[in-house]
Structure 1
Amino acid sequence: MQKQPLLILAVCFILGIFFQDKMMLAECTIYWTAAICLLLLILICFHSYFLYKTKTVLLMLLFFGAGIILHFYNSFSSGEHLQVKQKEIIIFKISQKLSSTEKYRKYEGTAQTGNKSLHSIFYVPRDYKELNFIHYYKTEAYITQPEAPQYDFQFDYTRYLGRKHIYYQIYISKEIGSAWRDDLTITDKLRQYRFTVLNRIDETGMSGKSKEFLKGIILADRTEIDADTARDFNKSGLVHFLAISGTHIVVIFGMLYFLLIRFTPLRFRKYAVTISLAFIWMFAAFIGFGNSVLRSCIMLSVYFIFMLLQRKPDLLHSLALSAFFILIADTQQLFDIGFQLSFLAVLGIYWLNQPFLKYFPKQDNYIKKILFNTITISLSAQLATLPVVLYYFHQFSLVSIFANFVIVPFSEIIIVFSFLMTALISASADFELINRVYDWVIHILLKAIHWFAEVDVLFFENIPMNGMEVLSVSAAVFLLRSLMLKFNFKNSMALMMAVLVFLMIRTGSTAFENRKEEILVHTFGKNKILSIKTGNKVSFWISDMKNEAKILRYVINPYCASRRVGGFEIKSMSSSAQKAVFRDKIYDLK
């Protein structure tokens, strides 16, 4: 507690959020929790020998309780149970553009119908004109509430939207009327200017893939990226390169800081850090405060504030403070996958980077330092996030290790080039030669990433992973540091015990699932799919093979990972079939 008080209190706060999310304590219990927290706060303020000795425990309990209380109020929404008709005339505005589908552009925003305000997801046909942030829109719409998934292995989209306080989906097929908004905030104006810059990128002469890459790597807009490119980044383990993360913020900060100290008068150089920090915060506001962006800006700011105050900067203090700022604003952010991966990656770098560097040659020049640190940082982050990646996505590619070694060393050059391109385009300075050079560079980059993604022999999917397995693997990663720093019998046995515990949990979980026999009827669009599981094998009977690829992605693969199935087969059945009989039981396929 003396060395890392903020980190320990942040962990207690997070545990309180998890506790409330699982137990869902009632309002009266929350009042009692608040009273206990108030009592703990009073006790901490008193000075006595006994209380001094227990102050650490009292503080941990106080922050645990604070997490429970705050998450209770962040989970409550008055819009969840509003009664609305299926067809309504609505007036709406958008606040964010989401990833598009084959048929629709998707937006997040607020609709007004009568005196009811609905925070919703809007589905607008792709052939309609793109919506912006400076208009109100009026139309007739079809309003639904997202349905809970049929089975436990499916992604719970209802819960995902509920964590963002979104409880309605609105489909638009009629003509949309518009009117200028007279209540624009600074945030709306920034969103609209970003929208304008995105449109200017579309008007350049670059190829479509280069445009979408530029939008994603600098402006955090991946809404129109094509499926093949997204698949290549995912399979190669380089999706973090396309998403705005700590690397991007640090590179942009470093670029501006370098320019300020090299090309400004001496009297202004002492303000270089302050100006650079102010710039990255403005940049973060411009592209939208995503988790990784906000975490990076807070950590960088805390780090340099410590330096300006002539205090020794501490990475874990910065990490804990950024977690507090984000979670106090919205505790639901804790359950965002990006939030979890972002913080785990930083913890992994802190914990494993230096031990890994011990096994590399001496870094006696700049090139070696950059190269070796790139490799060890990438490996540390991947190891720390691997358990959570397997838990959520059930897939991993060994080629991602090599892909990161090859691509990441060039990331700083690509980010700087992309940032300068965006700055020129936003200023309406469109130079054909520069566009061609950028297009050529990104074309080569995407070709290399595609080559890594095509190495299927190193790609593994349908990897089962439950919560207990995640904890045991994380413990093994935690113990790896001690073994790397000091290779001895004690540290080796500790790591081996963690691995053994993981294998025992995994074997037991697999044996438990393989004992089950299960027959399920799945609904996918208009398709009915019958799955028959016996032991570790399963057969899928599909009525319409046209959507086989999507069924494989959204039904078969998640089911196999959840049920720890060793193999599956796909069979065709008549689309007119209405019932199925298996072991004297009748299953309705209507």
Structure 2
Amino acid sequence: GVVARTYINKDSWKRSRVSMRRLGVMQRVLIGMRSARDRLLSHNEKHNMSESAYAVVAAMTMGDRSGLTRELRQSYAASGASHVLALSGLHLGVIYGLLSLIFVHRRMRVLGQVLAMVAIWAYAALVGMPPSVLRSATMLTIFAFVVLTGRRQVSLNTLAFAAVVQLVVSPLSLWDVGFQMSFLAVLGIVMLNMRLGNVETPACIGRWRVIGWVWSLVKVSLAAQLAVAPLSMYYFGTFPCYFLLTNLVAIPLATIIVYTSIVMYALGFWVWMQGVVATFVGWMATLMNALLGFIASLPGACMYGVHINARQVWLMYALLLVAYLMSFYIERRNITTASRSALDKL
């Protein structure tokens, strides 16, 4: 993380080869992966993407955020879509989901999980292994072992084990904002999403697949936002008011961009077809920038200056815990009442 800047006259330098024999194997691998990433990004620049579209695609797929302008960052932050630009579980989850679909057969389940883990850790090395990617890769690795045991859901035990592993490797991560927010977001999805799933919904949600998909996305977004909202106000003093609308726009488009970008990078041997796919990726990125820019321009899109102290943070999480426990009490009471009514009828 150390950056320096110097000035050298144009006639005072020469190219030289640097020996990497003293470096470890892991350092050599990371340097090689970094060079490969730079070559992949250079191909994108040749396909006539707009600057804003290229910046978003480079940030979302390769973790290169150097091309993001201040206006673009503010637009994504005001709309509540900053998490789309940061490499996280969304991006690794797309890779894991793609390989899981390919090796969906039960006899190939072990091979599929092994290949998925190899691909995820190779991708983590390709993008430089930032902390957010390491957390997501660790979580998905543990989830892969859970799937091999016959379970399909991420439980609190799985999440807690992933947190313990991460903290054993890097104890100081406990005070990292990204670590706190990422695990709280997953915790909210695991706990609150289950509670929201018990809410009575109209019959059309179960009848129409698209409406059901939108409702599930709303539940996940609401659960994750409720879990991280206190920390967001504590650290950044902001709260995006249209986060539900933002996620309905950003998550589908981001998924399409990541999937098609994988195809785009894989077509390096076929330049013409790679250009066609790159044009489509650029269109999708431009569309997402325009829609999120529109959401950010709406009145009251983001609340600024909402600073709270640590005591208020603990109080807000205590209220969420009470509401969570109350939902169990109400559900149990309703089940008891229904059972008594059924016995009375008998």
TM-score range, shorter chain: 0.7 to 0.9
Q: In structure 2, what is the equivalent of residue 353 of structure 1?
A: 193
Change (3 A) 1:314 1:258: closer
Higher alpha-carbon deviation: 378-387 or 302-311 = 302-311
* Alignment pair present for 1:179 and 2:16: yes
Q: In structure 2, what is the equivalent of residue 443 of structure 1?
A: 286
Change (3 A) 1:279 1:432: closer
Q: In structure 1, what is the equivalent of residue 3 of structure 2?
A: 122
One of 247, 253, 258 as aligned partner of 2:90:
247
Unaligned runs of 5+ in 2: 334-346
- How many angstroms does 1:212 deviate by? 1.0
Partner Cα separation in structure 1 for residue 117 and residue 143 of structure 2: 11
Change (3 A) 1:400 1:318: same
Deviations 1:223-267 (A, max 9, x none): 2211111111111001111211212211111112223448xxx97
Q: In structure 2, what is the equivalent of residue 370 of structure 1?
A: 213
Q: In structure 2, what is the equivalent of residue 224 of structure 1?
A: 67
- Does structure 1 conserve the Cα–Cα contact (< 8 Å) formed by 2:80 and 2:240? yes
- How many angstroms does 1:268 deviate by? 5.0
Partner Cα separation in structure 1 for residue 212 and residue 137 of structure 2: 25
Q: Secondary structure at the match of 2:271?
A: coil
Partner Cα separation in structure 2 for residue 276 and residue 459 of structure 1: 38
- How many angstroms does 1:269 deviate by? 5.9
Partner Cα separation in structure 2 for residue 324 and residue 316 of structure 1: 12
One of 139, 143, 152 as aligned partner of 1:299:
139
- Does structure 1 conserve the Cα–Cα contact (< 8 Å) formed by 2:253 and 2:288? no
One of 295, 310, 318 as aligned partner of 1:467:
310
- How many angstroms does 1:182 deviate by? 1.4
Q: In structure 2, what is the equivalent of residue 422 of structure 1?
A: 265
Partner Cα separation in structure 2 for residue 436 and residue 469 of structure 1: 48
Partner Cα separation in structure 1 for residue 301 and residue 74 of structure 2: 15
- How many angstroms does 1:436 deviate by? 2.5
Change (3 A) 1:290 1:363: farther
Q: Secondary structure at the match of 2:129?
A: coil
Instruction: Name the Cα RMSD after superposition.
Output: 2.6
- Does structure 2 conserve the Cα–Cα contact (< 8 Å) formed by 1:345 and 1:385? yes
Report matched runs for 1:183-194 at 5 Å: 183=20, 185-194=28-37
Runs of 4+ aligned residues of structure 1 deviating over 6 Å after TM superposition are none
- How many angstroms does 1:310 deviate by? 4.0
Change (3 A) 1:460 1:311: closer
Q: In structure 2, what is the equivalent of residue 333 of structure 1?
A: 173
Change (3 A) 1:275 1:432: closer
- How many angstroms does 1:452 deviate by? 0.6
- How many angstroms does 1:393 deviate by? 0.7
Report matched runs for 1:133-172 at 5 Å: 172=6
Partner Cα separation in structure 2 for residue 296 and residue 173 of structure 1: 40
Change (3 A) 1:261 1:474: closer
Q: Secondary structure at the match of 1:396?
A: strand
Amino acid at match of 1:421: M
Amino acid at match of 2:156: L
Amino acid at match of 1:404: N
- How many angstroms does 1:434 deviate by? 2.7
- How many angstroms does 1:312 deviate by? 7.6
Report matched runs for 1:38-57 at 5 Å: none
Amino acid at match of 1:465: I
* Alignment pair present for 1:201 and 2:44: yes
- How many angstroms does 1:311 deviate by? 6.1
Partner Cα separation in structure 1 for residue 304 and residue 46 of structure 2: 39
- How many angstroms does 1:403 deviate by? 1.5
In proportion to residue count, which structure has more helix? 2
Amino acid at match of 2:197: L
Q: Secondary structure at the match of 1:244?
A: coil
TM-score by length of 2: 0.83
TM-score by length of 1: 0.50
Change (3 A) 1:428 1:122: farther
One of 321, 329, 334 as aligned partner of 2:161:
321
Q: Which has the higher contact order (CA 8 A, sep 6+)?
A: 2
- Does structure 2 conserve the Cα–Cα contact (< 8 Å) formed by 1:403 and 1:452? yes
Q: Secondary structure at the match of 2:3?
A: strand
One of 313, 316, 319 as aligned partner of 1:476:
319
Q: In structure 1, what is the equivalent of residue 246 of structure 2?
A: 403
Q: Secondary structure at the match of 2:16?
A: strand
- Does structure 2 conserve the Cα–Cα contact (< 8 Å) formed by 1:391 and 1:464? yes
Change (3 A) 1:412 1:363: farther
- How many angstroms does 1:198 deviate by? 2.0
Unaligned runs of 5+ in 1: 1-107, 109-120, 125-171, 491-590
Amino acid at match of 2:40: V
- Does structure 1 conserve the Cα–Cα contact (< 8 Å) formed by 2:193 and 2:223? yes
Amino acid at match of 1:181: V
Partner Cα separation in structure 2 for residue 243 and residue 336 of structure 1: 15
Task: Give the share of equivalent positions with the same residue, in percent.
Answer: 26
In proportion to residue count, which structure has more strand? 1
